[in-house]
Amino acid sequence: MATQHRPRTWILAALAIASSATLAMPHTGEGFAPPPPPTGRGAPSGPRAGPTSPGGIPSGGPTTPGGAPGGGPTTPGGPGPGAKPTPAPTPTPRTPSGRGGAPKPFDPNRASAPSNGGVDPDHWSLWWYANRRRYLDRAPSGALTPGARGTNEALDDQLWRAEAAGLLSSMLRSDDDAIVASVAVALGKVGDPVTGDQLLAMLADADRPKSHRESAAFALGLIGAGPDAQAAQRASATLERIVRDSGESTELRAICVYALGLRGETQSVPFLSAVADTAQPRWDLPVAGLTALGLAGDESSRELLERHLAGPRRNKESMPRIYAAQGLARLGDRASLPALVMATRAKDEHVRRAAFHALGELATADDSDAIDALVRAEHRERDRGARNAAAIALGKTASPRARAALTFGYEKGDRLHQAFAAIGMGLLARGTDDPSLVSGLHRDLEERANADLRGALAVAVGLARRRDAAPILRELASDQGDLKMRAHATLALGMIGDRDRGPDVLRTLLTDERDPTIKWEAGLALGLLGNKRSVPILAEQLAKGSSYTQASAAIALGHIGGKDAAAALSRLLRTDDATGTARAMAAIGLGLALDRDDGERLALVGSDVSWSALTPTARFVIQIL
């Protein structure tokens, strides 16, 4: 049986169950959520004992708070290449010693090598799970603007949106914690500054459940500054106050840091810089500061991020360097390309991985030094994780040289790297709008016997939007073979836009399939297709189905969007005798229907970081719907 972990109540908490021993990864929020990576040989180096630069969090905040209850290990990681899987230990929080010192740095020479719950820490599905939200393009929901198809239709569209947002706002008064927390995040996606004061009061109330306050913090980040300067100042001041408070949980403080970055306010940059430079007993807070600096988008942050990427002359710990690379990727300043290319030559393989991921975000086909580094890695890089990251990055660059390098990796690499090379080819085909680049992968999808590789190939043709792969994907999704392969094929039907027979297959899977993961992916794929004819069937499933079916239908309706889908979700949210989980999922569905950017901004927080380097808070962010 796959290991289960207790997610936040406002994710798909009650549904985080692995129902079959054949599933190595439990199913949660969005897709396959692997268990938290334990500490082990090959993990990034541990937390520093002192600050990397003078100073602390502004306004005299303590620099070394106590450990937070429920936190994960300080140094996430996994076994190095070739390690044999063994059961993962239960994560425990790391706290300062009784003498007040920070935890000892992680020593890979003394650590055991537990596996990632039976999943290789370099497995392609871990990258896909953490990054896939950025590549799932839902069909246009039919949203109108004034004058688009007549004044009456435009007003009708505005009306259902206003009614849905109003319902969400009213549900903040619910007695059900899961509903309130789900509603808060949904309101953040709506982006209406009017709700900011309600969310701010929720965040500031220390007597509120932790899930409420975390949700409110993220919502304030998603809403952004808004036109009211005084309201924006109140929100930023409250977020900063909580970050300074060592009595608050590490997770909440880190979430507030991410929220400050998402708000994109220039005045928060000095505070975020100080957070990134301050020593902590866990990595969640300082590395959140590095990511948030990139999210804030102020060019003045580049120098600090590059300094952290290079690391101090002594004790070049991995984690700040990893997240500095991610921060540079989020910042999007191509002037950092030379620093990232230099980092691809670092001795620390975790830093090389991070640098390759960042190059994939910033480099174009014309950046010869970056392309040289990526191609060289595909041919010569000894660390498997770094080579995998380079394959993904090559696909993103749309470089003409990428095809030959990825073909080499696909033909000469082991099975794990073959999967990454295939996905890189899918990204390349997507970026160049040339589905023919994955013709060979399409053939292998039909002919290969290895289920794991076929799952990666399904993702690759999905990324390439290879419409002629629909018949084999339908067959694989409807088969009774490997569950994970079927799940990837199911989602790929939505990714390629199979609007011919795809909706029929997906509706059958949603209603008749027993496996909850397949139900979930079928609902998500239907949402990606934007099939309006599915709304009545999904509404029926929403009202009468099992918990998994209700959740899948809610997400599908949210992605389809429109007046009728919103009406079905609103009915469930108002139904007092429905379960709290079902109503929370209805709130999440409404948030998806009203989302301004389809979750793109939120997805940026946890993407482009190797799974073994994700902090507990970053892993938590990945699961937010």
Q: Among 374, 308, 319, which residue's Cα sits nearest to residue 348? A: 319
Q: What is the pLDDT of residue 322?
A: 96
Q: Does 484 have pLDDT greater than 50?
A: yes
Spatial neighbors of 538 by CB under 8 A, at least 6 apart, are: 510, 523, 526, 553, 556, 557, 560, 565, 568
Query: At 121, which amino acid appears?
Result: P
Q: Which pair of structure tokens corresponds to residue 328?
A: 């540079």
**Residue carrying the six token digits 């910042």:** 331
- Contact predicate 352/386, CB 8 Å: yes
For the segment 374-394, what is each residue's pLDDT rounded down to a tens digit?
A: 999 999 999 999 999 999 999
pLDDT attached to residue 360: 97
Q: Is 153 exposed, middle or buried (0-12, 13-18, 19+ CB in 10 A)?
A: middle
- pLDDT for 194 equals 86
Alpha helices in 433-514, H assignment, sequence order: 439-447, 451-463, 470-478, 483-495, 502-512
Higher pLDDT, 120 or 188: 188
pLDDT at 9 over 60: no
Average pLDDT over residues 484-504: 94
**pLDDT, tens digit, for every residue of 540-576?**
988 887 788 888 899 889 988 899 999 999 999 999 9
Structure tokens at 48: 């520093």
Greater confidence, 379 or 148? Answer: 379
pLDDT for the residue numbered 188: 93
Give the model confidence (pLDDT) of 93-104 as tens digits. Answer: 222 222 222 222
Q: What's the sign of the alpha-carbon dihedral 134, 240, 587, 19? A: positive
Band of residue 226 on the pLDDT scale cut at 50, 70, 90 = confident
Q: Is the pLDDT of residue 72 over 60?
A: no
Q: Give the tens place of pLDDT for each residue, 313-371.
A: 766 789 999 999 999 999 999 999 999 999 999 999 999 999 999 999 999 999 999 99
Which pTM does this prediction carry? 0.83
pLDDT of residue 10: 36
Do 394 and 374 form a contact (C-beta atoms < 8 A)? yes
Question: What is the pLDDT of the chain when averaged over all its residues?
Answer: 81
Beta-carbon count within 10 A of 201 CB: 13
- Domains of the chain (ranges, CATH numbers): 367-498 (1.25.10.10)
Beta-carbon contacts of 572 under 8 Å, excluding residues fewer than 6 positions away, are 542, 543, 550, 554, 578, 582, 583, 586
Average pLDDT rounded to a whole number, residues 127-140: 85
Helix (H, G, I), strand (E, B) or coil at 309: helix
Residue 106 has pLDDT above 80, yes or no: no
The 8-class DSSP code of residue 119 comes to B
Which structure tokens are listed for 277?
């430079």
**Residues paired with residue 116 on neighbouring β-strands, in sequence order:** 119
